[in-house]
């Protein structure tokens, strides 16, 4: 008769047989080491651009990255918190702009990496770097949400134009192109779509019709 302890020994043996030969495939966990490239340092790539030019562009782009990430997240906040009779259209518009800003975030960050630098990534670092004022956690009225977004766009546009000129002067055409073709054009278009919501238009009856019917 096979005893209970014999059975468990057998089971143990078969488990270890299952693991035989898997040593090389085992994940190595809890690894730590110092960073291989500190933030702010350039690991030069063969892109025919001077290291100093790369460093200057990367520094500018990281500021723009922090502000673009903040603007992107402001759109998501407002996408969630918008209220009132324009809820549905603004809910959708805010999310569309969020997605477009998210694409810009990736393009800016990858431009920084292409210059041999390190892009900002984590929320805490972004919060320390951005120049866009921190909004309250709670819900704000729609006109305040729109004003806040418009002011953030203007800050981004102002710095992007200055950075584009600096990149052009230094011969960094790739950065200049990203700033002009993607960042500036996208932000300008979004400002138009937003700003039209801040025009004080009557909802149902035209003001002139109201004045005419009251005999004024
Ligand atoms: Fe959503």
The three state secondary structure string of the chain is CCCHHHHHHHHHHHHHHHHCCCHHHCCCCCCCCCCCCCCCCCCCCCCCCCHHHHHHHHHHHHHHHHHHHHHHHHHHHHHHHCCCCCHHHHHHHHHHHHHHHHHHHHHHHHHHHHCCCCCCCCHHHHHHHCCCCCCCCCCCCHHHHHHHHHHHHHHHHHHHHHHHHHHHHCCCHHHHHHHHHHHHHHHHHHHHHHHHHHCCCCCCCCHHHHHHHCCC
CA of 89 to the centre of ligand 1 (A): 12
CA of 196 to the centre of ligand 1 (A): 22
**pTM (2 decimals)?**
0.88
pLDDT tier at 195, thresholds 50, 70, 90? very high
pLDDT (average), residues 1-30: 73
Indicate the range of 7-16, 20-29, 32-41, 152-161 predicted with least confidence: 7-16
CA 216 to CA 211: how far, in whole Å?
Answer: 5
pLDDT tier at 157, thresholds 50, 70, 90? very high
Indicate the range of 97-111, 128-142, 165-179, 195-209 predicted with least confidence: 195-209
CA of 197 to the centre of ligand 1 (A): 20
pLDDT (average), residues 74-78: 98
Residue 132, pLDDT > 90, answer yes
Q: What mean pLDDT value characterizes the chain?
A: 93
CA of 80 to the centre of ligand 1 (A): 7
Residue 7, pLDDT > 60, answer no
Indicate the range of 19-28, 146-155, 167-176 predicted with least confidence: 19-28
pLDDT tier at 49, thresholds 50, 70, 90? very high
Indicate the range of 1-5, 70-74, 121-125 predicted with least confidence: 1-5
Percent of the chain whose predicted confidence (pLDDT) is above 70: 90
Angle in degrees, 0-180, between the axes of helices 51-81 and 142-169, rounded to the nearest 10:
170
Q: What's the pLDDT at 129? A: 98
Q: How far is CA 60 from CA 71, 118, 130, in A?
A: 17, 12, 12
Q: What's the pLDDT at 98? A: 99
CA of 153 to the centre of ligand 1 (A): 21
Residue 210, pLDDT > 70, answer no
Contacts of 160 (CB under 8 A, 6+ apart): 64, 179, 183, 184, 187
CA 153 to CA 148: how far, in whole Å?
Answer: 9
Contacts of 42 (CB under 8 A, 6+ apart): 51, 54, 55, 58, 115, 116, 117
Q: What's the pLDDT at 10? A: 55
CA of 91 to the centre of ligand 1 (A): 8
CA of 77 to the centre of ligand 1 (A): 10
CA 187 to CA 75: how far, in whole Å?
Answer: 13
CA of 128 to the centre of ligand 1 (A): 27
CA of 18 to the centre of ligand 1 (A): 46
CA of 79 to the centre of ligand 1 (A): 7
CA of 60 to the centre of ligand 1 (A): 31
Q: What's the pLDDT at 23? A: 87
Extract the tokens encoding 204.
């149902």
């Amino acid at each position: 008769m096979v005893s209970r302890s014999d059975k468990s020994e057998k089971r143990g043996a078969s488990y270890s047989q299952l693991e035989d030969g898997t040593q090389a495939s085992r994940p190595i966990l809890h690894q730590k080491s110092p960073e291989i490239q500190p933030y702010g340092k350039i690991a030069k790539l063969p892109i025919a651009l001077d290291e100093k030019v790369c460093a200057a562009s990367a520094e500018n782009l990281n500021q723009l990255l922090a502000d673009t990430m903040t603007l992107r997240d402001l759109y998501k906040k407002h996408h969630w918190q918008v209220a009132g009779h324009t809820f549905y259209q603004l809910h959708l518009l805010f999310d569309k702009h969020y997605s477009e800003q998210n694409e810009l975030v990736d393009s800016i960050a990858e431009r920084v990496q292409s210059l041999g630098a390190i892009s900002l990534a984590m929320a805490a670092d972004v919060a320390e770097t951005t120049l866009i004022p921190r909004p309250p956690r709670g819900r704000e009225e729609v006109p305040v949400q729109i004003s806040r977004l418009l002011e953030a766009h203007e800050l981004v546009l102002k710095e992007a134009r200055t950075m584009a000129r600096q990149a052009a002067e230094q011969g960094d055409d790739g950065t200049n192109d990203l700033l002009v073709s993607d960042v500036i054009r996208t932000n300008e278009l979004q400002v138009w779509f937003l700003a039209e919501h801040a025009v004080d238009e009557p909802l149902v009856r035209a003001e002139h019709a109201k004045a005419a019917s009251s005999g004024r």
